[in-house]
Structure formats: structure tokens, C-alpha cells
């Protein structure tokens, strides 16, 4: 005889694992205004949007383009290689690290020059070395943008100069890119470096670069970012900050007061939000069904940015696979159900649940293959749990 469906609604505090997170809108009573034409404040771990202003509007982005150039260089695996500077690179207009034709320089040094001093010559040298040509690198930039989910962006060059009408992004897309880049430890280190020394080919003296991102010196919670300016884009800025486990990404486009706007956004978020541990790695408590009690686990801890008022609005709903009539499996499945998480009745996460001690061996297995296998062998049931 089939049991009644197993369905649980549990308040904040259940031990769970969230694998897929969908951002929810901020419900804080008030938020700071910014001078920017377009802006966004996003939480790094969850991707939750805490503040937005015309965040999906396509705009020129200037040198914050170089975040894409930097992460592609880092991911290329060529950081220890030596690049040979071409004449095309030395002729790049605007900000420069003053590369010389035929100079040999380590790609790693070029990336530091790109991020700290916004060298347009460095951007071209990186593009030619990593992509084989400037045009080849631009293809890689747009392929990566598509991979990340930057749906309203297009790159025509590796530096952000106003040499094309078809070079644009949005505050939201640039936050997605920065969030992706900040998940890379090498990028994170470079973006947060205040000063860097690079040997110079054929010279006895080194190049010494100080980061143009003044927030690294002005704001004690700053962790990195990238500045930008062109005559058409005006001032653009991406910056990151962290305090008490809450990591933030701020983007402003066409903003004449960007330093203050970013600090105000960060201060507002730090005062209104906490990075709350909704779940802890290990056994899920509160299951009374005899087949599952004490036997279901989460793989890791999950935290989410919440205001004080939002904590009481978090609810979790569990759906478990119905065991056989006699409650015994010859070969029990590892993943035994799903858990949905809601904030103010809006779903913010869906996750698989595991039998105790089995999830580690399946971490490399894809979610959809597992779901297909489970559905083939068992039927899902949903029942009230008291």
C-alpha cells in the first residue's frame, strides 16, 4: 500500500544544500540613490540583486571591458608564457603601460598592467597572444559572454575604446561577469592588488604600477574592481567589497560620482543584510518518516543574504521518493528527493537530497542524468508531513 505523499514545509534553520539559486528582489524599506545612468548591487555567492537602476539597459562600458580580457587570459593557462609585443599593440590609443615593439613580457605581467593601469597596449598584446589575433580574441570574448549568460552584451575589442558602435553591455551583465571572475582565485588576487612590480625586457629598472582603483585605498572593505572612462561612455566602475562574510559586486555606468556611490551602496547593504547560514552540511533534522529519519544529508553549508525582516519569510519544502511497499530497496538510490526553498513565497532554490554517506561519490555526476535514472526506477510522491 502506497503511503500518503511526503511533503514538508519547514522554517529557516533546516540543514539543506542549495545547488541552484535564483536571485530575489530586495525588500528592504529604502535603498540609496546613485548618480549613475545604470547601476546594480549584487551579492557574490547567490547572485541576488540587492539594488538596481536601469540595470538591463545596453550602454557603453569603457575599460571595465578589461575584466573579460583578464579572466580569459587567466583561464588560457598561458600566464607563465612570454608574449612578444607587436607594433599594433604599441599603437593602441589612450591609457598605456608603454610597451615597446618586439619587447618580450610575461603574460602575467601584462594582466597586472591591464588591471592596475588599464593599459590599452597591454589589452591588445594579451589578445594577440591568447587569441592568436585581435579578431580571434574578440570571438573568445563573445563566446565567454554567452557561456556566462551575458544576454545583452557584445564585445568588439579587448580594451573598451570607442572604436565601434557594437561594443556594449549592461550593469547586470557586468555584475555577472565580475561574479564569475571573482570565483577565480588568481583573478581575485590581481584585482585586489594595490601595487605591482614587473621586470622590463632590456632595461635595468622595473615597471611599478599603482592600481587606479582608489577604493582599495579609500574604503577598508574594498577587495578589487576595475575603472573605466572614455569620452562617450563617461566614467564606469566595477568594484567589490566584503564584510562579515557578505561579498558584494557593484557596477555603475556613466556616473560622475562613482567612488561615493559605490561606498554608499556597500555601506547600505552591510547595514541591512547579513549572510545568513540557512543550512549546515550534514544530516537533515526534522524528518519523522521511518524510511528517512536520520538518513538524509546535505553536501555542504549554504548561506544567503537576508534582511532581519526576511528571516521569518524563508520556508523549505521537501519531496521524497516513495520507498517500496515493504520499505526496503535491494539497491537504494543515493538521491532520494528534492528540497525547494522559498523567500516570501518566491522560489529561490532547488536542491537534491542524498542518503547518508552517498553524495560524495556522486558529486561529479550530472543532476539531470541522476533525475532521469531516479524517475525511471521510482515515482515521485508529494505528501503532507506533520
* Predicted confidence (pLDDT) per residue in 237-273, tens digit: 999 999 999 999 999 999 999 999 999 999 999 999 9
* Predicted confidence (pLDDT) per residue in 154-194, tens digit: 999 999 999 889 999 999 999 999 999 999 999 999 999 99
Q: How far apart are CA 380 and CA 373, in angstroms?
A: 12
Closest residue by Cα to residue 155 from 177, 171, 175, 140: 140
38-269 to CATH, choices 3.90.1150.10, 3.40.710.10, 3.40.1280.10, 3.40.50.920: 3.40.710.10
Q: Where are the domains of the chain?
A: 7-23+276-377, 38-269
Angle between helices 134-148 and 66-75 (to 10 degrees): 90
For residue 285, give the DSSP letter.
P
For residue 1, pLDDT beyond 50: no
Assign 11 a pLDDT band (cuts: 50, 70, 90).
very low
Closest residue by Cα to residue 222 from 186, 180, 250: 250
Higher local confidence (pLDDT), 292 or 136:
136
Residue corresponding to grid cell 572593505: 221
Q: Is 317 exposed, middle or buried (0-12, 13-18, 19+ CB in 10 A)?
A: middle
Active-site residues, by number, are 63, 66, 118
Assign 301 a pLDDT band (cuts: 50, 70, 90).
confident
C-alpha cell at 362: 556522486
For residue 287, give the DSSP letter.
-
Q: Are strands 296-298 and 346-355 parallel, antiparallel or unpaired?
A: antiparallel
The gap from C-alpha 75 to its chain's centroid, in whole angstroms, comes to 15
Q: What is the pTM of this model?
A: 0.84
pLDDT of residue 28: 52
For residue 39, pLDDT beyond 70: yes
C-alpha cell at 320: 521524497
Q: Flag the least confident range among 21-30, 266-275, 285-294, 322-331.
A: 21-30
pLDDT of residue 362: 54
CATH number belonging to domain 7-23+276-377: 2.30.140.30
pLDDT of residue 8: 53
Q: Is 382 exposed, middle or buried (0-12, 13-18, 19+ CB in 10 A)?
A: middle
Closest residue by Cα to residue 113 from 230, 182, 209: 209
C-alpha cell at 52: 538596481
Amino acid at each position: 500500500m502506497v503511503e500518503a505523499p511526503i511533503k514538508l514545509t519547514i522554517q529557516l534553520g533546516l540543514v539543506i544544500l542549495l545547488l541552484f539559486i535564483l536571485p530575489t528582489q530586495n525588500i528592504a524599506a529604502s535603498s540609496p540613490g546613485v548618480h549613475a545612468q545604470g547601476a546594480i548591487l549584487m551579492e557574490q555567492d547567490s547572485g541576488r540583486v540587492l539594488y538596481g537602476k536601469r540595470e538591463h539597459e545596453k550602454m557603453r562600458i569603457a575599460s571595465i571591458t578589461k575584466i573579460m580580457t583578464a579572466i580569459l587570459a587567466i583561464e588560457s593557462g598561458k600566464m607563465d608564457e612570454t608574449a612578444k609585443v607587436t607594433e599594433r599593440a604599441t599603437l593602441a590609443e589612450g591609457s598605456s603601460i608603454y610597451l615597446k615593439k618586439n619587447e618580450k613580457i610575461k603574460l602575467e605581467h601584462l594582466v597586472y598592467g591591464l588591471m592596475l593601469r588599464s593599459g590599452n597596449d597591454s589589452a591588445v598584446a594579451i589578445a594577440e597572444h591568447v587569441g592568436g589575433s585581435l579578431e580571434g580574441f574578440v570571438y573568445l570574448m563573445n563566446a565567454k559572454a554567452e557561456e556566462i549568460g551575458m544576454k545583452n552584451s557584445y564585445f568588439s575589442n579587448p580594451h573598451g575604446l570607442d572604436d565601434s558602435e557594437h561594443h556594449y553591455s549592461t550593469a547586470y551583465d557586468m555584475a555577472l561577469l565580475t561574479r564569475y571572475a571573482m570565483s577565480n582565485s588568481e583573478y581575485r588576487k590581481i584585482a585586489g592588488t594595490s601595487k605591482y612590480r614587473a621586470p622590463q625586457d632590456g632595461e635595468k629598472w622595473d615597471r611599478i604600477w599603482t592600481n587606479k582603483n582608489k577604493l582599495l585605498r579609500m574604503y577598508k572593505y574594498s577587495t578589487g574592481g576595475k575603472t573605466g572612462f572614455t569620452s562617450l561612455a563617461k566614467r564606469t566602475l566595477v568594484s567589490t567589497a566584503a564584510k562579515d562574510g557578505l561579498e558584494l559586486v557593484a557596477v555603475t555606468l556613466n556616473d560622475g560620482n562613482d567612488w561615493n556611490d559605490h561606498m554608499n551602496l556597500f555601506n547600505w547593504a552591510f547595514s541591512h543584510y547579513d549572510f545568513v547560514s540557512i543550512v549546515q552540511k550534514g544530516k537533515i533534522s526534522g524528518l519523522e518518516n521511518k524510511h528517512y529519519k536520520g538518513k538524509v544529508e546535505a553536501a555542504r553549508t549554504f548561506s544567503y543574504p537576508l534582511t532581519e525582516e526576511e528571516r521569518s519569510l524563508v520556508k523549505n519544502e521537501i519531496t521524497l521518493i516513495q520507498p517500496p511497499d515493504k520499505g526496503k530497496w535491494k539497491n537504494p538510490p543515493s538521491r532520494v528527493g528534492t528540497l525547494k526553498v522559498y523567500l516570501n513565497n518566491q522560489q529561490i532554490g532547488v536542491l537534491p537530497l542524498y542518503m547518508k554517506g552517498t553524495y560524495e561519490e556522486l558529486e561529479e555526476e550530472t543532476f539531470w542524468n541522476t533525475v532521469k535514472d531516479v524517475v525511471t526506477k521510482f515515482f515521485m510522491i508529494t505528501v503532507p508531513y506533520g
